[in-house]
Structure 1
Amino acid sequence: MKYVIGIDLGTSAVKVLLVDQKGSVCQEVSKSYPLIHKQSGYSEQDPSEWVEKTAEALTELVKNFDGDVTAIEGISFSGQMHGLVLLDENHKVLRNAILWNDTRTTKQCKDIYETAGEKRLLEITKNPALEGFTLPKILWVKEHERDIFEKASVFLLPKDYLRFAMTGAIHSEYSDAAGTLLLNVSKKAWSDELCQLFGIDIRLCPPLVASHEFVGTITSAFAKRTGLSETTKVFAGGADNACGAIGSGILSQGKTLCSIGTSGVILSYEESGDRDFQGKVHYFNHGEENAYYTMGVTLSAGYSLSWFKDVFAANEDYVSLLDGVERVPAGSNGLMFTPYLVGERTPHADSVIRGSFIGMDASHTKKDFVRAVLEGITFSLHESIHIFRENGKKIDTIVSIGGGAKNEAWLQMQADIFDAKIVKLANEQGPSIGAAMLAAVGTGWFASLKECADVFVKEAKTIEPVKENVEKYRELFMVYQLVYRSTQELNEKLQSFRN
């Protein structure tokens, strides 16, 4: 039997999977690392931690592997998007990585619009200027750490730095580069125009390759450190959401993904880069060659549920907390929740808005509140589906993964609110299995990712919408959409009172 490894470099931990040719996960190892919060709004990590913890995970995996390590033929990657790693001319790290959830760059986002113009930025990058993206971070360093900016010879995204540490080769790939605000998404090339506008030498941008592309073998030093063979081939990999899409079989027109973790994502496959969503949703290059995906984000999806549990039901587990929500009618007996606990992303890029419970009365029980939280999260995700449909996309089947796929009542809720068939996977592993699939295609096991998905991605069940509930939720969704507009000004006035 032959094997590949998928490495998912997340925000809090690295997850490593060993997968065989049948798509079976033979081993899973995870190692965590800390975040660095120097002050409010700052979120950084030491890139050496990524390398150290990945090496530890791989060493443990190899130690527990019974076969010949040369049978592990390939490695590929998934990684947290947008993070900035700056290297000097000797390829040494110049400062801590600034992460996707760092919000210090509001001024730089405004500067980007003033310099490039919102319309032109969308034409080139297909995305709005948000604090999470990479270009605002580069401009922040340029403004506040000029000596570091002038020493920088290349920037890398997190998983690209990890791959460099393992191979010695400098690359980025299209799906991750699309989240920088420096890539011409349709042309799949760094934008000379944007680099010139912002005084960035285009040589700061790394060479671009496709996600499945072979970029080298692991170095002898890394092989010695982990026990892997020096012959192990390394492939470029993809952004976490792109790899999540691959690992869920979102590889053809009409396929859509609902992923509910701490945040929530609605991601839909696109065959071309020329559809115009007016910047209302993100538009990125897929890990599938010559394909794209559009994506909406709910910042507090699973986090809304964990917040409610921690504050109001700290002594309950999730099974107990959710038990019985299926007996609460659609609409939670007139109670509604908006999941804006840390602001919102799609369709409202608003860092000030906060969540609400609307319609509380003395008859409501804890189960009403729990169901309202689940419905509110799902309504927020439906905002993205609503945008897709308004722009002519047909969405009738949605693969659901993450926390939202672990509860039958929530799966039915998704089917009813989205008015679509929901598919639950038998072997859900998220971005890490997508990374393994890129390695499997790269090593030649399969001719395409679609062929690989036929083996690796298995459906467990489908859930159909209930017509009566669809009609109720259609009315309730219109009410949900009113809450943002009705509470926006109130939250602006309350902002100065927050800790």
Structure 2
Amino acid sequence: MEHVIGIDLGTSAVKVLLVDWTGKVKGECTEAYPLYQPYSGYSEQNPEDWVEKTITALRKVLQVSNVDPSSIVGLSFSGQMHGLVLLSENNEVVRPAILWNDTRTTEECRLIEEKVGRDKLLSITKNRALEGFTLPKLLWVKKHEPHLYKQVRTFLLPKDYVRMRLTGHIAMEYSDAAGTLLLDISKKVWSEEICQALDINIHLCPPLVESTDYVGTLLPEIAEKTGLSKNTKVFAGGADNACGAIGAGILEEGQTMCSIGTSGVVLAFEQTGEREFGGKVHYFNHAKPNSYYIMGVTLAAGYSFDWFKRTFLNHMSFSEIVKRAYQSSIGANGLLFTPYLVGERTPHADADIRASFIGVDAIHTSWDFARAVLEGITFSLNESVEIIRASGKRVDTVVSIGGGAKSEEWLQIQADIFATPIEKLKNEQGPSMGAAMIAAYGCKWFPSLEHCARIFKDVEQVVEPNSRAVERYKEIFEMYKEIYLQTKELSKKLKAFRR
């Protein structure tokens, strides 16, 4: 039996997944690497750590799976988005990689808006200038480390760098390139207009390929270190959110995914790439060729629940808190929570806004507060669902993954607030499974990614919305949306009193 491998290069670790043609996991391995934060707002990693740990994980997954290395016919990648890896003429790393969660580039974001223009930027890239994107990082290095910038001959994103080290082939695929703020999303070319406006040599931008494109085989020395065959086919892969969407089967119109981890993501499939959202949501090329996805982000989703547990109910398990919270009434007995602990992204790109409990009464119990937190996180995610629906798109079903899918009660809250059926997957593997599916499609196991998803995706449960709860939540959601408008100026004033 043949096998493929999906490699997910995350922020804290690389995960390698080995699967067969039915999507059954035959082996997995995770290897962690350090994150460096030398100053406030800085977040960097050593690209060599990614390479070393990926090689180690590949070797170990062979050992734990016990499969014949010659049966592994292909592999592909998923990776953390936006990270800047600068390479010299000899493809040597010029400086540590600056990651997606690095926030040093606020001035560069304003410079982009000034030089390119907000409307022009949106028309080309479909996204606003935010600190997380790659272009502001490139401009920061140009300004603050000109001696290093002079050495740069090209730049890559994290998983593209690892793929280059494994194959010797330099390229960037569209789903990750879309997060650089340099790609013309619709035309699928690097934007000469943006490069000229910011005095960036367009030749620094690497060649572009599709996520499903074959880009070579393993270098002999990599094959020897990992134990894999040097004939193993390598496919370009995709950004982590795009691969997570593939793994959840978000490949056709009407399909949407809700992922609740530390942050929360609502992601919807989009075919045309022509809708206008004014930068309220992210708009990227999908790893499925010639398609796109729309994505809204709640910065503190699971993080809000984790904060509440640590601060008030640290002696209890998450599952017990959720069960007790669910016994409170819809609307948490007249209590609302906004999950703005670290600011917010969608639809309010506001770094200063902070969380609120509204309507606190002497009658409220710990479980009312806990339910308010669960509902507030879901309300915030529903703002992204609402934007997607307002554009004319269908939201037929929502696949729930991450922490929000681990609880029957929270799944029901999602179904009721989103007013749509919620699918829970039986074997959720996230972006690494999406990467494996790209390899499976690339190896011609299936005629399309959609066919692959029908085999690999296994729905364990569908939670239907309760009509009475849906109507109640619609009313409460309208009140929830007023809180931001009423508290944003107060949050800015209170900032001066935070340590």
**TM bucket normalised to smaller:** over 0.9
CA deviation after TM superposition for structure 1 residue 26, in Å:
1.0
Q: Distance in 2 between matches of 1:280 and 1:72?
A: 42
CA deviation after TM superposition for structure 1 residue 29, in Å:
0.8
Q: Give the match's secondary structure for 1:78.
A: strand
CA deviation after TM superposition for structure 1 residue 198, in Å:
1.0
Q: Distance in 1 between matches of 2:226 and 2:487?
A: 54
CA deviation after TM superposition for structure 1 residue 338, in Å:
0.6
Q: Which residue of the partner structure matches residue 284 of structure 1?
A: 284
Q: Distance in 2 between matches of 1:65 and 1:177?
A: 33
Q: Give the match's secondary structure for 1:409.
A: helix
Q: Distance in 1 between matches of 2:6 and 2:235?
A: 10
Q: Give the match's secondary structure for 2:333.
A: helix
Q: Is the 8 A contact 2:323 2:409 kept in 1?
A: no
Q: Give the match's secondary structure for 2:194.
A: helix
Q: Which residue of the partner structure matches residue 105 of structure 1?
A: 105
**Residues 144-179 of structure 1: per-residue CA shift (max 9 Å, x gap):** 001111110010001101111111111100000000
Q: Distance in 2 between matches of 1:498 and 1:347?
A: 25
CA deviation after TM superposition for structure 1 residue 197, in Å:
1.1
**Residues 275-313 of structure 1: per-residue CA shift (max 9 Å, x gap):** 111111111000111100111000001111111111112
Q: Which residue of the partner structure matches residue 120 of structure 2?
A: 120
Q: Distance in 1 between matches of 2:212 and 2:281?
A: 26
Q: Distance in 1 between matches of 2:217 and 2:170?
A: 13
- For residues 383-394 of structure 1, the aligned pairs below 5 Å read 383-394=383-394
**Residues 79-100 of structure 1: per-residue CA shift (max 9 Å, x gap):** 1100100000000001111010
Q: Distance in 2 between matches of 1:316 and 1:383?
A: 30
Q: Give the match's secondary structure for 1:170.
A: coil
Q: Is the 8 A contact 1:261 1:301 kept in 2?
A: yes
**Residues 368-414 of structure 1: per-residue CA shift (max 9 Å, x gap):** 11111110000000001111122211213111111111101100101
- For residues 39-50 of structure 1, the aligned pairs below 5 Å read 39-50=39-50
Unpaired segments ≥5 residues, structure 2: none
CA deviation after TM superposition for structure 1 residue 65, in Å:
3.3
CA deviation after TM superposition for structure 1 residue 367, in Å:
1.2
Q: Which residue of the partner structure matches residue 487 of structure 1?
A: 487
CA deviation after TM superposition for structure 1 residue 320, in Å:
2.1
Q: Which residue of the partner structure matches residue 154 of structure 1?
A: 154
CA deviation after TM superposition for structure 1 residue 53, in Å:
1.2
Q: Which residue of the partner structure matches residue 381 of structure 2?
A: 381
Q: Distance in 1 between matches of 2:7 and 2:304?
A: 28
The amino acid across from 2:75 in the alignment is: I
Aligned residue pairs total 499
Q: Distance in 2 between matches of 1:46 and 1:471?
A: 51
Q: Is the 8 A contact 2:27 2:62 kept in 1?
A: no
**Residues 158-214 of structure 1: per-residue CA shift (max 9 Å, x gap):** 110111111111110000000000000001111111111111111111111000111
Q: Give the match's secondary structure for 1:334.
A: coil
Q: Which residue of the partner structure matches residue 401 of structure 2?
A: 401
The amino acid across from 2:221 in the alignment is: A
CA deviation after TM superposition for structure 1 residue 129, in Å:
0.4
- For residues 266-285 of structure 1, the aligned pairs below 5 Å read 266-285=266-285
Q: Distance in 2 between matches of 1:75 and 1:198?
A: 37
Q: Is the 8 A contact 2:352 2:491 kept in 1?
A: yes
RMSD: 0.9
Q: Is the 8 A contact 1:299 1:340 kept in 2?
A: yes
Q: Distance in 2 between matches of 1:66 and 1:413?
A: 42
- For residues 166-205 of structure 1, the aligned pairs below 5 Å read 166-205=166-205
Q: Which residue of the partner structure matches residue 447 of structure 1?
A: 447
Q: Distance in 2 between matches of 1:321 and 1:93?
A: 47
Q: Is the 8 A contact 1:122 1:279 kept in 2?
A: yes
Q: Distance in 2 between matches of 1:55 and 1:374?
A: 40
The amino acid across from 1:47 in the alignment is: P
Q: Give the match's secondary structure for 2:262.
A: coil
Q: Comparing 50-59 with 88-97, which one deviates more in the overlay?
A: 50-59
Q: Give the match's secondary structure for 2:447.
A: coil
Q: Which residue of the partner structure matches residue 363 of structure 2?
A: 363
Does 2:23 align with 1:26?
no
Q: Which residue of the partner structure matches residue 352 of structure 2?
A: 352
CA deviation after TM superposition for structure 1 residue 324, in Å:
2.3
Q: Is the 8 A contact 1:396 1:419 kept in 2?
A: no
The amino acid across from 1:131 in the alignment is: E
CA deviation after TM superposition for structure 1 residue 221, in Å:
1.1
The amino acid across from 1:353 in the alignment is: I
Q: Is the 8 A contact 1:118 1:128 kept in 2?
A: yes
Q: Which residue of the partner structure matches residue 478 of structure 1?
A: 478
The amino acid across from 1:482 in the alignment is: E
Q: Is the 8 A contact 1:417 1:473 kept in 2?
A: yes
Q: Distance in 2 between matches of 1:225 and 1:78?
A: 21
Q: Is the 8 A contact 1:219 1:230 kept in 2?
A: yes
Does 2:72 align with 1:72?
yes
Q: Distance in 1 between matches of 2:64 and 2:417?
A: 45
Does 2:258 align with 1:225?
no
How does the TM-score come out when normalised to structure 1?
Answer: 0.99
Identity %: 61
Q: Is the 8 A contact 1:4 1:75 kept in 2?
A: yes
Q: Which residue of the partner structure matches residue 423 of structure 1?
A: 423
The amino acid across from 1:39 in the alignment is: Y
CA deviation after TM superposition for structure 1 residue 494, in Å:
1.1
Q: Give the match's secondary structure for 1:297.
A: strand
Q: Distance in 1 between matches of 2:153 and 2:298?
A: 35
How does the TM-score come out when normalised to structure 2?
Answer: 0.99
Q: Is the 8 A contact 1:173 1:210 kept in 2?
A: yes
CA deviation after TM superposition for structure 1 residue 122, in Å:
0.5
Does 2:436 align with 1:436?
yes
CA deviation after TM superposition for structure 1 residue 497, in Å:
1.8
